[in-house]
Structure 1
């Protein structure tokens, strides 16, 4: 069995993964991120919808570099409580019906109390073929809390609009390079943004580096817009996950353990070419692996950031994950570690001359 690749703060990774926070309900997650930012950030601020911004200062009036990963995870809201105590759920973010039946979820009340339930499913015995082969829409599913009535649900303090999230514990897999948890989309990259500050804290750098945990990415990249406008960065790197194409049902070039993934474009952005070439040079200088990602569907926080003000030099770096938008995702340590190394080196190198050079590269 191979040894674990590189250095990772598994305690931070675990805490962020196991925190509960769908779009619009990210406070628990931001508190965890704040805990890990405090030792390495000179200032911690927030935008007005909850994105957390940790600044590690470089030179006075040095260029601003924004590194962001979104804190929200896909989940549900309590939509309806029927007379028998079953909860109908409203999906927040994209869910595929196949991954939900018989899975356990938590409902979190306004007071922060958490209650366990299971998504209802039917026994296969005697079901018509057309029913067995049909994917149930998430909005048609229900959560069973193991109660007798609507009144019992209300006695627990559960009400319409409460957050519902997956029940998953972080786990190091049988090969220690493989890590499983919930909310890797995109808590993994929120952790990565923090980790960059730890890597450069003892290094001289001109850049004022902002590690940002954005909110409400899964419902429209909203925190990226507000945080980007608040910081007004000179360069931004959005961090997000991408689909690993290395399973029996998904086949392609992006695989776990392949190293750095540079996103050329997605549905909302064509990555800044000069920044892309700079990241390629850094990866070659550090002997890091280079992979390329191109998507025609979906996007990242970069899609909103690059359009702020007069335009921001922006691109996305991606971490491959298996089983995205489900209860349990798997990632590989090498992809995380190499991406941290690449971005940390960029933060050490970037200065106003480099910014000018990148701007001239597209004019």
Structure 2
């Protein structure tokens, strides 16, 4: 699992530019599914057929990661950018990035006015991304434009690494963790149901791929595979984010205070009862924060009973986050056990 997570984390795929991660997932699934295709929006849809009278189950993991995009190149060759997805400005400054271009990857660094030239009042404020730029070492606009174009996606550079106690760190754990779970379930599943493993696009900018793929598949049941906030570190109260890394994947009961998903009662009962029966470590969570592909899926057509399984992740939506590998493995075990019950 660590090797798979490393491969997925190191791959690039900001919202709207998921080609590399999609190709990687297709290679992983080759020979393990009955059918595989890419739809009009760019979603990867892999099908593992069950019995003709069996249920249709959709497993959705978004492939995209938060990132940036080239917006403007100034006369000196410095690059201004826009954000793709929810990124705190304070997380960006002085990080290395690489810009994906038609000629390959171009390395750069995010810069701003140095603190030595800031007034005292400026030093106390978070520098907004509009006041940052990317330095690729170009001497002029013309030189920069030979290497980079407006509209090129930008990935924050962060190397995968292992920590102690089954913890790993790297970029884009939101949501390469869900992608890893999806791949392993599709490889290992044995069930009467027909499983649709969907790598969705553009979740971070509006749950877009989930909307179109769920409409096309129209499953009897769906599970979104994502990550949730792990609050087991300084600076956050346990009551604000009680999920802990290493205590098992979270079964999400609601998110966004109910504005997103309120998990279907039968799906909730199924997930919790199977976890208890199989003695699989798990946590339950009522979330007031963000939401997942499940919000779009469960409102598709006449409504689709939907749930969410999310391993906890520290420092999500930053250039590097931390996940416990055992939580990821236990998420796979839980989904496989649920599929057998169907």
Q: Per-residue deviation at 1:176?
A: 5.2
Q: In structure 2, the residue corresponding to 1:309 is in which secondary structure?
A: coil
Note if 1:245 corresponds to 2:231. yes
Secondary structure at the aligned position of 2:76 is classed as coil
- Which of 128, 135, 149 is matched with 1:144 structurally? 135
Matched, 1:135 2:126: yes
Q: Does 1:347 align with 2:321?
A: no
Query: Is the CA contact 2:62–2:178 (under 8 Å) kept in the aligned structure 1?
Result: yes
Contact 2:112 2:131 in 1 (8 A): no
1:188-215 superposed Cα distances (whole Å, 9 cap, x missing partner): 1011111112222xx3x11111111100
CA contact (8 A) 1:190 1:212 kept: no
Once the two structures are TM-superposed, the CA of residue 185 in structure 1 deviates from its matched residue by: 0.7
State how far apart, in whole Å, the 2-side matches of 1:139 and 1:40 are: 46
Pair 1:188-2:180 in alignment: no
SS in 2 for 1:32: helix
Q: Name the counterpart of 1:334.
A: 326
Q: Which residue of 1 aligns with 2:106?
A: 115
The secondary structure found in structure 2 opposite 1:77 is strand
Q: Does 1:163 align with 2:149?
A: no
Task: Determine the C-alpha separation between the residues in 1 that align with 2:177 and 2:129.
Answer: 25
Deviation at 1:298, TM superposition (A): 1.7
Q: Are the counterparts in 2 of residues 322 and 329 from structure 1 also a CA contact under 8 Å?
A: yes
2:7 and 2:45 map into 1 onto residues whose CA distance is: 18
Q: Decide which moves more: 29-38 or 290-299.
A: 290-299
Aligned-pair RMSD on alpha carbons?
1.3
Aligned residues: 336
Please name the residue that 1:222 is paired with: 208
Deviations 1:3-24 (A, max 9, x none): xxxxx2x332222111111111
The answer to whether the aligner puts 1:178 opposite 2:164 as a matched pair is no
The one-character-per-residue Cα deviations of 1:220-243 (angstroms, maximum 9, x if unpaired) are 000001111111111100011111
1:258 paired with 2:235, answer no
SS in 2 for 1:237: strand
State the alpha-carbon separation in 1 of the partners of residues 249 and 313 from structure 2: 13
Q: Matched residues in 2 for 1:37 and 1:159: separation?
A: 33
Secondary structure of the equivalent of 1:125? helix
Deviates more, 1:139-148 or 1:158-167: 139-148
SS at structure 1 position matched to 2:47: strand
Question: Aligned partners of 1:169, 1:262: CA distance in 2, in Å?
Answer: 29
Measured in 2, the distance between the counterparts of 1:231 and 1:47 equals: 11
- TM-score, normalised to structure 1, is 0.90
Cα drift, residue 283 of structure 1: 0.7
Give per-residue Cα distances to partners, 1:67-100, cap 9 Å, x unaligned: 1110000001100000011100100001111111
User: Distance in 2 between the 1:77 and 1:293 partners?
Assistant: 34
Distance 1:306 1:195 in 2: 24
What residue number does 1:270 align with?
Answer: 262
